[in-house]
Structure 1
Amino acid sequence: MKKQEDHASRPVKGPRFSIRLCTIAAAAMMLFGCDNSGPIKIGFIAGISGDGADTGIAALHALELAVEQVNEQGGIRGRKLEIIARDDQKNPETAKAAVREFKELGVTAIIGPIISSVGMAMLPVVNELDIVTISPTASAAEFTGLRDNFFRMNSTTRENADAYARRNIDKGRMRISLALDGENEAFTESWYREFLLTFDKLGGRVVSKVWFNTADTTKPDVARQLLADKPDAIIFVANGVDSAELAKEIRKTDQDIPLSTAEWAGTEQLITLGGDAVEGMELLQTYDRYATNPRYQKFVADYRNKFNEQPGYTSVLAYDAMTVLVAALETRTPDQPLSDALATLPPQQGLHQELMFDQFGDGKRNAYFVKIKNGQFILE
C-alpha cells in the first residue's frame, strides 16, 4: 500500500507537458489561424462597382501589387498573403455583412473602406469582432481620438476643410456655395462643419448649401441652386464622377466662376469625364503625383506595367496602408495583438512620407493644392 501511495504522489509530467503544448498551439492558432502553413488572409472592402468605383478599384489594384511583391519575397514568415475583396456598394448594411463574413473566413485584418460613411457603419462591428481595420482614406473628424480597431492613414476633414477655407479667403472669395453628396454624409457633413468653422471665423459666408444624390435632386437643379445667390466660388464636396458632372452643368450657365472640389474627387476620372468644364478647378491632394523619389517612381512604373493606368491617390494611400500592415505582421511578437503592433510601430517609409499612427490609430498626410491645367493636375 505504501508503494502505491508514493507512486500516486509523484509528479506526473506527461499530462502537464501535453497541456502546455496545447496551450502553445492554441496561442499559435489565435495568432496565425488554424493552418500555420496557409495564407494570411487580408480582407479588402470598398465600392468597386457603380459611380465612383474608380477610387475603390485603384485601391484594390495597389493592394494586389503590394501583395504580389511581398509574396515574391517569401511572404510573412514564409506564409503568402491573400486578398479577399468585397464590394461595399456604398451601402452601410452591405459593409457590415462583409465584416462578419471576413470574420468567418478568418481574415487577419481588413484594408478599407474608402468613404467615411461606410467606415462609420463598420466601426462598431470591427470592434465587436476584434478585427483590425486600416482605412486608406476615411477622414471624417469623428473617427479621431478613439481607442479602437479602426486605423486611418489619412488626415481628417478638420485639417483639409480648414485649408480650403483659408485658401478661398486668401483669394478674396468671401461668398461660397457648397454642394454636398448625400451618399457619403458622414464625410460631407463633417467637411462642411469644419470648413464653416474656419470660413466664418475669417469673415467668409456660405451663401448656399445644396445636397445632391438624394431622391428629389437632379444635377441641373443643383447647379441652378448653387448659382442662384451669385457666390464668388463653388465647392463640390463630392467624388470625381459627380464633381465632373456638376462642373459641366455649372459651365452651361457660367464659364468663369471659380470651381473647387474636395480632396475625395482627385482621380483621373475627374479629368476624363469633366473635360473642359474642370479646367482651372482646384483641389487638395495628399500626395505629389510628380514626386521624383525612387521609391515612388518604382511604384508608378510597376503599377502602370501591371494595370496599364496611372495610380491615383487611393492607390498611393492603399499601398501605404499595406506597407504598415506588413511591417506590423513581420515585427509583432507571438502574444502581441495586431492593434498594439500597429500603434507602437516605428515610422515606416511610405511612397511620399514616413508613416505612423498616434496612440489612437490616427495617421496624418502631407497635403498639396493642385489645379487642373491642360488636362493635368498641376501642383500650385
Structure 2
Amino acid sequence: MSAPSAPPSEAERAAGASVRIGALVPLTRPAWVEAGRHLLAGLELAVREANDAGGIAGRPIELVVRDTAADPRKAEAAVDELARLGVAALAGEYHSVVARAAAARADALGLPFLCSSAVLDALTAQPTQWVARLAPAQSHGWRIYADFLLGAGHSRIAVAAEPSVYWTSGARILRDHLAPRGGTVIELDMRALTPTAVCDALVDHRATALLLLVGHPEPAVSIVRSVRHDRRLAEIMIGAPAGQPEFARWATLLGNDSAAVPFLRYLPERLGPLGARVEKALRERLGEAPSFVAFEGYDTVLVLADVLRSHGGDRARTAESWPHVAVEGTRGRIRFSRPPDTGVWQWVWPPVQVVDRDPAEPDRLRILHTG
C-alpha cells in the first residue's frame, strides 16, 4: 500500500478551516439517479444538522460532492481529486461495482472511506483497515430474500439477468442458498432474450417466480409489462431483490403493474425517535417519502462526525477507530466488525425487510418478511 496522502495541515486546523468530507454520489445517467438523489439528501441533511450543533470542535463540515455517474473510472478519478483536496474521509456511493473501484483507490491512498449503500461482499480485493460499510453484505440480504421465496412456496425460480459482477454474485447467492433446500434457479440471459421471449421461457421452465436482475428503468420495466399482460403467467410472482421498486419512478412508469413486486429494504419495522424525526425532515427535503438509501446517507455522516470529533482530520486515526464506533443511528445502534469474506469493517447487521407495493394502494409499502 502506498503512503497515505496528507490530511489538512496543522495551520489549516488552527485557522478554523472546515473539515471536508468527500461524497461520491451517482447523479447522472446511466447511474440510478433516484438513488443518488436520496443518498445526497441524507448526506446533506446530516451535515447541516452536525454544523448546527457546532460542527467538529467549532469547525464546520464541508461536503465536497463528486458525481460518479455509475462509472468506476470516474469514481477513481474523484477519489484522487478529493484526496488532493485534503478531505478527511470519503462517504457515499450506491453502485457496488463503482464502490469497489473507489474502495480500492481509497485503500491505496490511505484515505478512510465509509461506504453508504453498496452491498457487493468483496468490496475490496484484500482486507483493508481503511474501508467500512453501513449497507449489509449482498450475501446476507439476498439469503434473507431466498428464505422469503421458500416461505412463499416458490422453488422454481427464474432470474432475468444482465452481465455484471453484481448480478452474477446475486444469482450465485440465490442458487447456493436455495439448492440445498430443494430450490432451483433458472438463469435467463437478457443479452439474448426479448421481454416476450422471457415470457415463453417462464412457461417452458414452469417457473413460479421471476426475479429481475437487470437495470432500471430498462429492461426491468419492459419485462414487468410483458409478464403482467401474458395470461399464461397470471400466477407468477415477479421479484426485484436489488430494490428497483423502492423509488417513486417505478410506480410512475408502471402504474398498477408496479405493485406486488417484493424487494429488499434496509429499514426497521418501526423507526425510533431519531429515525422518525429524520424521516420527516427527509420527506420535506425530497418532496416524497425517503427511501432507505436516504437514511444510509444520513447515518454515514452521523458516524463520520462522531469519529472526526474524536480524531479531527487525522486519516490514520479515523481508520483505526472503526472497531470502536458505537453510534445510535436512524435504524439502530451502529457498530463495526469484520465478518468473513468482506475484507472491510461492516455494520453487522442493519435491519433487513422484504417489502412490496400494496396492489390496493401502490404508494404504500407492505412488509412481507424480516430478517
- With normalisation by structure 1, the TM-score equals 0.83
Query: Can you give the 5+ residue segments of structure 2 that lack an aligned partner in the other structure?
Result: 1-5, 339-343
AA at the equivalent of 2:288: E
After superposition, residues 325-340 of structure 1 pair within 5 angstroms as 325-332=304-311, 337-340=317-320
Instruction: Give yes or no for contact 1:240–1:264 (8 Å, CA) kept in 2.
Output: no
In 1, are the aligned partners of 2:160 and 2:211 still within 8 Å (CA)?
Answer: yes
Distance 2:46 2:162 in 1: 31
Distance 2:202 2:18 in 1: 51
After superposition, the C-alpha distances for 1:180-226 in whole angstroms (9 at most, x for unaligned) are 344xx2322221111110111111111233345xxx76655555555
1:251 is aligned to 228
* Distance in 2 between residues matched to 1:220 and 1:106, nearest whole Å: 52
Equivalent residue number for residue 3 of structure 2: none
SS at match of 1:206: strand
The one-character-per-residue Cα deviations of 1:50-109 (angstroms, maximum 9, x if unpaired) are 252100110001111111111111211111111111111111111111111111111111
**Which residue identity is paired with 2:346?**
D
SS, match of residue 260 in structure 2? coil
Match status 1:174 vs 2:139: no
Give 1:231's match in structure 2, choosing from 202, 207, 217: 207
CA RMSD of aligned residues (A): 2.4
1:378 corresponds to 2:366: yes
Where does 1:299-314 land on structure 2 (aligned, <5 Å)?
Answer: 299-314=278-293
Worse overlay, 142-151 or 128-137: 142-151
Worse-superposed segment, 64-73 or 34-43: 34-43
Which of residues 163, 171, 194 is equivalent to 1:192?
171
Deviation at 1:42, TM superposition (A): 1.0
Which of the residues 124, 127, 134 maps onto 1:153?
Answer: 134
Shift of 1:252: 2.7
Give per-residue Cα distances to partners, 1:272-327, cap 9 Å, x unaligned: 32321122111221104x73522111112212223322211110111111111111
Q: Which residue of 1 aligns with 2:186?
A: 207
Question: Partners in 2 of 1:227 and 1:33 — Cα distance?
Answer: 67
- 1:351 aligns with 330
Specify whether residues 106 and 31 from structure 1 end up closer, same or farther in structure 2 by C-alpha distance, changes over 3 A only: closer
246 and 40 in structure 1: CA distance in 2 versus 1, 3 angstrom threshold: farther
Change (3 A) 1:306 1:132: same
1:207 and 1:218 map into 2 onto residues whose CA distance is 16
1:241 matched to 2:217: yes
Structure 1 residue 146: deviation in Å?
2.3
Measure, in 2, the Cα distance between the counterparts of 1:334 and 1:297: 31
Matched residues in 2 for 1:208 and 1:261: separation?
15
- List aligned pairs for 1:254-293, cutoff 5 A: 254-265=233-244, 266-288=246-268, 291-293=270-272
Q: Which residue of 2 aligns with 1:368?
A: 353
Q: Does the C-alpha gap of structure 1 residues 352 and 56 become closer, same or farther in structure 2, counting only changes over 3 Å?
A: same
- Give 3-state SS (helix, strand or coil) of 2:136's partner: coil
TM superposition shift of 1:271:
2.5
Aligned partner of 1:94 in structure 2 is 74
Write the distance in 2 (CA, Å) between the matches of 1:48 and 1:218: 29
**1:367 aligned partner, one-letter code:** V
Opposite residue 235 of structure 1, the aligned amino acid is L
Tell me the secondary structure at the aligned position of residue 337 of structure 2: coil
Distance of aligned partners of 1:114 and 1:260 in 2 relative to their CA distance in 1, 3 Å threshold = same
Report the counterpart of residue 108 of structure 1 in structure 2: 88
1:74 partner letter? G
Say which structure, 1 or 2, has more relative contact order (CA 8 Å, 6+ apart).
2
Measure, in 2, the Cα distance between the counterparts of 1:301 and 1:286: 18
Q: 2:60 aligns with which of 80, 97, 100?
A: 80
Please state how far the C-alpha of 1:228 moved relative to its aligned partner.
4.8
Point out the structure with the larger helix share. 1
Alignment partners' CA distance in 2, 1:328 and 1:218: 50
Report whether the alignment pairs 1:60 with 2:45: no
Offset at residue 33 of structure 1 (A): 6.2
Would you say 1:39 and 2:18 are equivalent positions? yes
1-side partners of 2:131 and 2:58: how far apart? Answer: 27
Find the aligned partners of 2:313 and 2:41 in 1 and give their Cα distance.
30
